[in-house]
Amino acid sequence: MKRRNLFVFFDSAYQGFASGSLDKDAWAIRYFVSEGFELFVAQSFSKNFGLYNERVGNLTIVAQDGENLTRILSQMEKIVRTTWSNPPSQGARIVSKTLNCPELFAEWKGNVKTMADRVLLMRDQLKGKLQALNTPGTWEHITQQIGMFSFTGLNPKQVEFMIKERHVYLMASGRINMCGLTSSNIDYVAQSIHDAVTKVQ
Ligand SMILES: Cc1ncc(COP(=O)(O)O)c(C=O)c1O
């Protein structure tokens, strides 16, 4: 990126959900900063705070030169004024209070880890169940991928079967939200994927 003089823009929407640790998931951003890059980080708290409708997030700007920061700020203020002007404050207050209070911060970090561990467990179980059912194909990608979503590898017709016949909802691309899997529905979902793969080409 240095050689090609590219500008770095991170889109951080799931911090903590990949590894269970906020610091581990922030590694790439910190690495780029340590390498001297100037960069933007757009951060969303929709997922890791469960505040989907509150529009909470921030834009972190890393610049080498203080004067550049002043210029960026004045540009940002114009953009903000002409687009949303006043953001809703309720969700931002919840996040700010949590991040600035050591007890609440520790509790939230524990919550994020619980979520990440649960998704890792569901990935492991889904892969195991598909392998136990001898579902054609390889299912290693379910545990090799990280985060909240997984590409199942189902094609659009198989996705249609999942939705219409089994009422398991996923994107036409085969992308599924792992958080929707629980110990009570995982057998049903694994069997449905098995049926989709074996009955629909
Ligand atoms: C990678 C990525 N970036 C950004 C967003 C948007 O986050 P927000 O809900 O704060 O608009 C999402 C949400 O789906 C996402 O998946």
pTM for the structure as a whole:
0.86
Is 20 close to ligand 1, i.e. is its CB under 6 Å away? no
Predicted pLDDT of residue 158: 98
16 close to 112: Cβ distance less than 8 angstroms: yes
Is 44 close to ligand 1, i.e. is its CB under 6 Å away? yes
Is 23 close to ligand 1, i.e. is its CB under 6 Å away? no
> Does residue 147 surpass a pLDDT of 90?
no
Distance CA 105, CA 55 (A): 20
> Does residue 107 surpass a pLDDT of 90?
yes
Is 91 close to ligand 1, i.e. is its CB under 6 Å away? no
Return the number of other C-beta atoms located less than 10 Å from residue 4's C-beta: 5
Strand ranges in 68-174 using DSSP code E only, listed in sequence order: 149-151
CA of 130 to the centre of ligand 1 (A): 30
> Does residue 161 surpass a pLDDT of 90?
yes
> Does residue 125 surpass a pLDDT of 90?
yes
**pLDDT band at residue 87 under the 50/70/90 scheme:** confident
Rg, the chain, Cα only: 21
Mean predicted confidence (pLDDT) in 119-132:
96
Q: For the chain, which domains are there?
A: 2-100 (3.40.640.10), 116-199 (3.90.1150.10)
CB burial of residue 5 (10 Å; 0-12, 13-18, 19+): exposed
- Could you tell me the end-to-end alpha-carbon distance of the chain, in angstroms, rounded to an integer? 42
195 close to 161: Cβ distance less than 8 angstroms: yes
Is 46 close to ligand 1, i.e. is its CB under 6 Å away? yes
